A and B are shown apart, each in its own frame.
Chain A
C-alpha cells in the first residue's frame, strides 16, 4: 500500500557515483528505482508502515466487532446462550431405528424421546418416565393368557405385557411432513419434480406443521425395527422377544418385494396397514408391548432411541421420489418431540441443535446424591428445562486443533487425549487426579467417572493350549490362564498406558452396574489377596507354581522340554503402541513364556475372532444398560462367536455358568439374584477365560462457565440439564485471545532490513554491469561472460 509510493524519493540521485550511470539506457536507470529503491528510502517506508500499522489494526479490530480475531464464531453470537462442542466423526445414522453408535446417540438422544430415561443425578442408575406418564405397568401371563404373579417361576410365564401410557399434549417439532393447506391436505406429500427443483435441504420447504404425539407413533417405530430395508441392529435380539416381530419382518419383506423400489425412494409402505401382535395401541395415549417369556431388561431398552416415536407422516414424506437423491431422508433430518431439534445438518462442517418450540416441558431434578448438593448440582432444582438455546457442534477431526480451541474458550468442554494429559491433569499425593495449575488458573475443572465398560484380554477357549482338550488338558489350561492372570499386572498397565485412568478389574462387571460388588467380597481370589483393606496382586511365585502345575515348569513344556510360546493377536498398531506390546511381552516373560505378537488389520482380526483362529486377543464392551446381564452374557455359551456368531469372543462355555445365567437373566434385582451372580463370578474367576483387564475412567474438562455437569455414560439426553454463563465466557475469551502483533511487526521489520543489503547488491550489480559495458566498449574483451562490444 504505502510502501510502493516511493517514486519521488527514488528519482533523486542518492549516491556520488550516479554520474557513472548516465551512459546507460533509460530502462536501466529506472530499474533499481522502481523495484527496490535506495536503502535510505526503504527504511523510511518501513517507518511509515510501522506508523500506520496500529491505525490499520484498530480498524480491523473494530471491523471484528470486538470479537477476538481467532474466534471461529460470528461476533453476534458472543453473548448468546449457546453451547459449543466438537465432533470428530460424522454420524452415519440419525434414524433411531438404526443408530447405535455413541457419536450418533449424541444427537438422537436430544431429539427423540423414548418412553423412559435415566435419572440424571441418582446412582446407581435409575429409570424414570420421559415421555411416559408413569413407569410401565408390567403384567405376566401363562400360556393360556391367565395372569401370573410376579415372582413366580420364570418357566410359568409365557409372555409379559408392558403397558405404557404417554403424557397427553406432547407435540412433534415443526416439520414440513405435517404441513397442511387450508383444506387440511398435506402440502408436501405429493411432491413433483417441479416442486423439488429449488430444494436442496429440508429448510427449503417453507411451510411446517406439527401434531400431537400418540401411542400409535411408538407402535409405528417398533414395527420399523422389522423393516427389511432398515437393518436395525437390535432386530435380531428383539425378534427373540417381541411377539410376532420375526414373522412381521417376513410379511414386510413380501410386501416390499411385491411393491418394488428402494427404501426411501418410494413407493411408501404403510406399516399401519400391517398389524403386529407384539405392539398395539390401546388408545390415543396408551400402547402395549408383548414380550415372550420374561425379560426384565426390556425396561432398559425402553430408555433407548430405538423405542422413540416416529410419525407415519415423516416416513410418508421422506419416501417420495427425488428426496433421497438430495440427501433429504429421515436418516439425515430427524423428527422428534425432545427438547431440541436439528436445524442445521452439514455433518462435514457443523450440526446445530436448537430448542424445540413445541417441547412439552420438564423440570430439573430436585433429588440427587448427597454429594450433588455440595457440587452445586441441585441449584437449578425444579427449574424448567432446557437451559441452553442452541448447541453448535463443529466438525474438528484432529485432536490438536480441538484441544487448542478448548483452551482458547471456543469449546466449552473437552476430553483429554494422551498428548495433552500431562498438560491438563496431575496426581495428588493421595493418588487423586486433579487439574494442573495452568488449567486451574483458567478456571477449568475436571470431572471423572468410572465408565460402564470393560477392556479385557481374552483366551480363545477352543485353542488347545490356552483352552485345553480333554478333562486333564482343560484343568492344565485353566492353571495356565490363572498363572497369566496373576503375572499380567494391570495396575501397572493403567498407570503407564492409561495415565492412571482406570481401575484393574476383578471381573467383567464394572462398578456402578447392578451385580458389581465392592470390597473384599468383590475381589478375584485367584489373582488378589485382601491385605490392609485393599486388594493386592498375588506374588509372581504363586503364578510360577500354577504354571508348573499346568505342566510348564519355568515356562518349559514338561513333556517335550520345548519353551512355551503363546500368540497375541492384535489389530495393526502404530509405532506408538509398540511400548504397550513390549510391556505385554515382559509380563509373560515373568513366567518365561514367549509371547509372539501377531498384528493384522482390523478386518482380518475380526475374521480370526469369528472363526476362532486367535489364541489371545484384546477386546472391550460398552454397556447398553446398567445390568450385570449385559456383561455376563458375553461369556454365555450360546453366545459363542464360533458356531453362533454371538458376542462371546472367548468361545467360553460352562454348563453350570450357562444354567445360572438363564436363571439370573429373568430375575428382578435383589439378594437372590446377587447370590446367583456371585456364584457365576466364582466360576468365571476360577476358569479365567479373560484376563479381566480394567474398567476405564472417563476424564472430562469443563470451563468455569459450564455447569450442571454430572458424567453419565448411560443416559445421553443430558444437554437439557446443562447451563452456560455466556457473559463469563465472552469475558474470558476476550482475555485469553488478545492478538499478539509484536512478532508480526518484528518479522516485517527484519524482512525489510534484510532487503536493504539486497537492494545495495542490486544497485552495485547494475552499476558494475554499466561500468563494464562502458569499459568494454573501450577495451574489447574475449571473455564470453562479459557484455561488451564484441557481442
Chain B
C-alpha cells in the first residue's frame, strides 16, 4: 500500500503543475501585473513610476512565461510563472499583495472554516443516511413518494436562497440566533447554529436521493434476501447489512471532501461573516490578489488529491477484498 501511496503522490506533481499553469494563464488573461499594481496602489494619483516599482518589488516586472532576454534554461526560469510556482511546491506561499503573510492567514482562517464545515459534514452525513434509509424502509409508500418529492424540491433551490431565507426566518423574524458574525471561544456556538443548519438542509435533497439510490440498488441483492430469509427485521437488514455494503459508493463521495473542509464555503462564509478561508478566497478574487488565489487553488488541488488517496485507503478498510497495489 505504501508503494501505491507514493506512486499516487508522485502522480500528483504533474497534476499540480497543470493546475498551477491553468490558474496562472486564466488569471493573467484577465489581469495584467499593471492591473494588480493599480488595484493595490489605488485609482487616484498613481504614477507610472509607482506601478513599475510595485511590480519590481514583487517580481512581476519579468515576462510571464518566456524570457526572450535570457539564455538557455533561464528563458523559462527567469519568468513570473516559474519563480512564483517553484516556491509553491515548497509550501512557501509568500505574501499577499497587501504585504500580509499568506501562510499565517491560512493557519488563522482554517479554524473558522472547519468550525462550520466539520459539523455540516458529520451532521449532514448522519442525517442524510438516516433519511435515505427511512425512505428505503418505506419504499413504495407515501413516505417514500413525498420524501423524493421533498428531495427534488430541496435540490432545485439555490443555496443562496437557503441562506437568505434562513437568516430571514430564524434570525430576523423569530430572533433565535444572530444573523451573522463570529465570536471567540465558546461564544462561537450561537453563530454556528444557523450556518450549520442551513448547510445540512441545503445538501439534504441531493445527498439523500443519492444515498437512497445506492441503498435501493443494494436492496435487490442476494445477501439482503438471505438476511430477510433468516428472519431478520427490516431495521436490522437496513442498518446492519445494507448500510455496510453500501459504504463504498458513499465513501467515494464523502471521504474525498474531508480534506477540502479546511477550505470552507465561498458563499456561506461571506453571508454569515465567518472569517474562514472561503471568504479569504473571495476577497482575493475581488482584489485581484494573484498570490492568494494561486495559493488557495494550489491548496485546494492538493487537498483534493489527498482526499482521493484517502478514499482509496478507506476502501481497503471497509472492504477486505480491495487491495491497493
Contacts and interface: CB of A to CB of B under 8 A. Distances in A.
B101 A324 contact: yes
Interface stretch (A24-32, A140-148, A363-371): A24-32
Contacts of B232: 25, 27-28
A470 to B, nearest CB: 31
B42 A100 contact: yes
Nearest to A253: B53
B50 interface: yes
Contacts of B75: none
A139 interface: no
B174 A228 contact: no
Contacts of B30: 601, 603
Contacts of B233: 25, 27-28, 31, 766
A88 to B, nearest CB: 10
B62 interface: no
Most A Cβ at <10 Å: residue of B48, B49, B178, B180: B180
Nearest to A788: B229
Interface stretch (A180-188, A389-397, A551-559): A389-397
Nearest to B47: A236
Contacts of B48: 645
Contacts of B325: none
Interface string B5-34: 000000000000000000000000011100
Contact of B172 (A346, A348, A408): A408
Contacts of A395: 273, 275
Contacts of B283: 89-90
B273 A349 contact: yes
Contact of B138 (A404, A407, A601, A761): A761
Contact of B271 (A262, A401, A405): A401
Given A229-B57, A331-B99, A72 B47 contact: no
Given A72-B191, A348-B109, A739-B175, A231 B50 contact: yes
A93 B50 contact: no
B236 A27 contact: yes
A744 B229 contact: no
B231 interface: yes
Contacts of A606: 35, 38
Contacts of A398: 180, 270-271
A218 B275 CA distance: 36
Q: Is the interface of B mostly helix, strand, loop or mixed?
A: helix
A581 interface: no
A65 interface: no
Contacts of A739: 174-176
Contacts of A331: 99
Contact of B40 (A92, A740, A757): A92
A690 B101 CA distance: 44
A97 to B, nearest CB: 13
A74 interface: yes
B225 interface: yes
A257 B275 CA distance: 38
Interface residues of B, number: 70
Contacts of B202: none
- Which one of B45, B53, B229, B280 has the greatest number of beta carbons of chain A within 10 Å? B45
A738 B175 CA distance: 6
Interface in B254-300: 270-273, 275, 279-280, 283, 287-288
A740 B174 contact: yes
B98 A70 contact: no
Contacts of A769: 234
A408 B275 CA distance: 22
A433 to B, nearest CB: 25
Most chain A beta-carbon neighbours within 10 Å: one of B48, B176, B183? B176
B53 A228 contact: yes
B153 interface: no
Contacts of A237: 45
Contacts of A784: 225
Nearest to A101: B42
A234 B279 CA distance: 31
Contacts of A234: 45
Contact of B179 (A24, A70, A766): A70
B159 to A, nearest CB: 14
Contacts of B104: 325-327
A70 B47 CA distance: 48
B283 to A, nearest CB: 7
Contact of A348 (B46, B49, B280): B280
A647 B35 contact: no
B244 interface: no
Given A69-B190, A603-B32, A765-B234, A327 B174 contact: no
Contacts of A72: 178-181, 183, 191
A35 B235 contact: yes
B154 to A, nearest CB: 16
Interface string B187-203: 10011000000000000
Given A92-B98, A326-B104, A603-B35, A397 B273 contact: yes
Contacts of B273: 349, 394-397, 401
A787 B172 CA distance: 54
Given A35-B235, A787-B228, A400 B53 contact: no
B175 A349 contact: no
A737 B101 CA distance: 40
A773 interface: yes
Contacts of B187: 74
Contact of A400 (B50, B108, B167, B275): B167
A71 interface: yes
Contacts of B57: 229, 262
B173 A740 contact: yes
A60 to B, nearest CB: 10
Nearest to B180: A401
Contact of A236 (B45, B177, B271): B45
A603 B31 contact: yes
Give the residue among B226, B233, B280 with the most A Cβ atoms within 10 A: B233
A291 B58 CA distance: 33
B171 interface: yes
B162 interface: no
A231 B54 contact: yes
A233 B35 contact: no
Contacts of A229: 57
Nearest to A234: B45
Interface string A587-623: 0000000000000010100110000000000000000
Contacts of B101: 324-327
Interface in A745-788: 757-758, 761-762, 765-766, 769, 773, 784, 787
B221 interface: no
B143 interface: yes
Contacts of A708: none
B180 A236 contact: no
A737 B271 CA distance: 21
A603 B143 CA distance: 55
A101 B45 CA distance: 12
A267 B152 CA distance: 63
Given A400-B167, A739-B175, A791-B226, 12 more contacts: A24-B231, A72-B183, A101-B42, A229-B57, A233-B46, A394-B181, A401-B179, A401-B273, A738-B175, A739-B174, A761-B142, A761-B143
5 contacts: A31-B233, A68-B175, A324-B101, A404-B168, A766-B233
| Nearest 3 A/B pairs, CB to CB | A348-B275, A791-B229, A72-B181
